Structure 1
């Protein structure tokens, strides 16, 4: 069975956690002890709060909102799933960015009573920037509008205009009620006018990500030198295959040094194998004695990434400390950690108009386009060609706090209109 990773996003109180709880509950993916507690509460006359299956923090249960990113796993006879429950409050947009960074599909929830609102647009923008190409518009709480087909059609039309702007494949619109389970796992008799699949039926059929489609990329996390009598000359390079596939005998190049050699052996769980694919953790041994350190990349000699000290990137600023031109920080690209500076902020994105606004700083939750310079060359790809090697984070030199998530390469020019004349700051 293949794997589908998806995220639920949208505004506060649209029912994201309840929807995930309903998916787990109705697909019989809840552990027996948790199921017993839920059924005991229901038997005593209380209302079963399915959101508690994902909202585990005390503050989340007290406030009735999602704060942190929660991951849940379940399996059906047709597919395995990893669910990311992301917070809807604008204050926790940075948490949503973290959750969406590894997702293949986004379920955008909309309250049927409110329709497409600012947070719907914000989360769709972020998901599009992060390379998610499959969207589901889940029009929730249809029971509160008497399962009105006209309400659903209007919301679906409004959201279609949004996805058209991002040149995304048409989002699959599904009416449902997460609280009552209508159209979540099984089709509902309350929606006779809807002839499409239930949410779970759609999730089981949508194409998943193919991690081997991108060019082979591997970055060294640890150099293994046991230097024991049994293995006096052993030298292995441990790390994760970030994308693509490596085979024994492949001609490769080590970056940033540029040394060229051949893969002598590939080990998985201390056993030699002929090939390894993303996202396997492996040890690679090279035929020649070349200088390789933590953070170096081992890539095909015929298909190398860009080795550069100057980047143009889109940042999702995640710190309460503002960003200003000239600020020095650290750029972390998987296991590579290098000094960097931001000489120029090119523009800021307005979530309302998707226009470009001039900016001389960035605040919490802003999305900005910047130029970066690094102290040493880094081996990177364009994010839309390789999500694994086209992304990075920025780290504060003193505190070690994460400041921003970055996407390398030029953003899709069709996402945004021309620069706006006034330098008004729009925070998203």
Structure 2
């Protein structure tokens, strides 16, 4: 058995941490992931040999270009930048990891949001050689803002390329102070910060002799130690993805409603409520991976069988009847605009929440975040590409909404252009009671 598979099996029951790398162009995100893959024995010898032979290898030294392990698109290798989100998997004896290498270029901020939407932690990279005076780049601020808005529970600031500044503690301290100021502005209460060199493999798996002044954990042991427990008690929410008919009729089989349970738990005998119809029924059967269960919990992909026939279809939402909700047509949200065509408050867009699809209009843009000054500015009535703004939205149909920080499943949505079917915005509900 090779080391990759053995490592994965050893970590099988230790939990999975989903994380992203973020930051500006050339901060070393892809190289860092390549280093983590190599140091955790997550790549094969022939893969290393292949990138050493690559015509796109950067530099003339003997070090392999580890960024090529994640930058798989031809355009990425030609330009030396990350464009699409690349997911990689690796494991240590303590934990499994799913890591998303997200683009640093402003043009591809939408791809960073895609990777961050399912992550629990973010590694924000900062190039020490470009921030030696303590001035953070705009994309570092933008990605930190997005990570904060998305409620990522762990922020790890990796001050990379410390070898280019001779591991100068004064440079690290200035960057640390600058990021602390940024975190205070954004409301990030806690973050970890580590000096390292991804290319040289310093302070990745073991402490570096070049930074005796740093007393914290190296990067990989820190990632292994991050808590996966979510102390928030979220109510049960399940968007129906698929209606399953087995056996052809209720006499011979059953009708089940499949989806992923987000929050809480559901037991056989519980009374559930269906939205938007507000009808109720009792759970008579629960199935997970084809096996009958007495209860299912947060994160389970399940099929629910009810005691009576109801008109339930894809996009409907199931909640527990003893956890009352109030569907709404108007709410406030933070909106990150992802389209080159600016937002128009006179147009209708498709709003997709979970599997539910309805029409909506942005009624007003109240303020736009300036990621350079970290202040909200008075809105001009629209949002341009990569703008983040506070808006009011009205939907055609009532929606079950929760503030995003309380429940991401019903607090997140996207807007879709009805003419092009392009995703034009990602939204986070922050005032469901509006």
Give the CA deviation at 1:289: 2.2
What do the CA deviations read for 1:384-414 (whole angstroms, capped 9, x no partner)? 1011221011111122111111101239xxx
Paired residue secondary structure (2:204): coil
1:183 is aligned to 203
Establish whether residue 139 from structure 1 lines up as the match of residue 152 from structure 2: no
Task: Return 175-184 or 361-370, whichever deviates more.
Answer: 361-370
User: In structure 1, which of residues 103, 107, 112 is the aligned counterpart of residue 123 of structure 2?
Assistant: 107
Alpha-carbon distance in 2 for matches of 1:6, 1:111: 19
Q: Note closer, same or farther for the CA distance 1:33–1:246 as it changes in structure 2 (3 Å cut).
A: farther
User: In structure 2, which of residues 87, 93, 109 is the aligned counterpart of residue 77 of structure 1?
Assistant: 93
Alpha-carbon distance in 2 for matches of 1:32, 1:88: 29
Give the CA deviation at 1:209: 5.0
Task: Return 218-227 or 198-207, whichever deviates more.
Answer: 218-227
Establish whether residue 364 from structure 1 lines up as the match of residue 377 from structure 2: no
Paired residue secondary structure (1:389): helix
Alpha-carbon distance in 2 for matches of 1:13, 1:330: 36
Task: Return 309-318 or 232-241, whichever deviates more.
Answer: 232-241
Q: Note closer, same or farther for the CA distance 1:232–1:363 as it changes in structure 2 (3 Å cut).
A: same
1:152 is aligned to 172
Q: Note closer, same or farther for the CA distance 1:329–1:37 as it changes in structure 2 (3 Å cut).
A: same
What do the CA deviations read for 1:140-168 (whole angstroms, capped 9, x no partner)? 10000111111111111111111122232
Give the CA deviation at 1:106: 1.2
Name stretches of at least 5 consecutive residues in structure 1 with no aligned partner: 412-428
Establish whether residue 389 from structure 1 lines up as the match of residue 391 from structure 2: no
| Contact 1:276-1:282 within 8 A present in 2 as well | yes
Alpha-carbon distance in 2 for matches of 1:306, 1:229: 34
1:62 is aligned to 78
Taking the TM superposition and a 5 Å limit, the aligned residue runs for 1:89-100 are 89-100=105-116
Give the CA deviation at 1:64: 0.3
User: In structure 1, which of residues 270, 281, 297 is the aligned counterpart of residue 317 of structure 2?
Assistant: 297
Establish whether residue 17 from structure 1 lines up as the match of residue 37 from structure 2: no
Establish whether residue 126 from structure 1 lines up as the match of residue 143 from structure 2: no
Taking the TM superposition and a 5 Å limit, the aligned residue runs for 1:323-362 are 323-353=343-373, 354-362=375-383
Q: TM-score, normalised by structure 1?
A: 0.91
Give the CA deviation at 1:17: 0.5
What do the CA deviations read for 1:22-53 (whole angstroms, capped 9, x no partner)? 011111111353144357789x9754000011
Alpha-carbon distance in 2 for matches of 1:294, 1:28: 42
What do the CA deviations read for 1:60-106 (whole angstroms, capped 9, x no partner)? 00000001111111111111111111111111111111111111111
Q: How many residues align?
A: 410
Alpha-carbon distance in 1 for matches of 2:412, 2:337: 14
Q: Note closer, same or farther for the CA distance 1:231–1:49 as it changes in structure 2 (3 Å cut).
A: farther
Alpha-carbon distance in 1 for matches of 2:94, 2:326: 39
Alpha-carbon distance in 2 for matches of 1:201, 1:83: 15
Alpha-carbon distance in 2 for matches of 1:289, 1:154: 64
Q: TM-score, normalised by structure 2?
A: 0.90
Name stretches of at least 5 consecutive residues in structure 2 with no aligned partner: 1-13
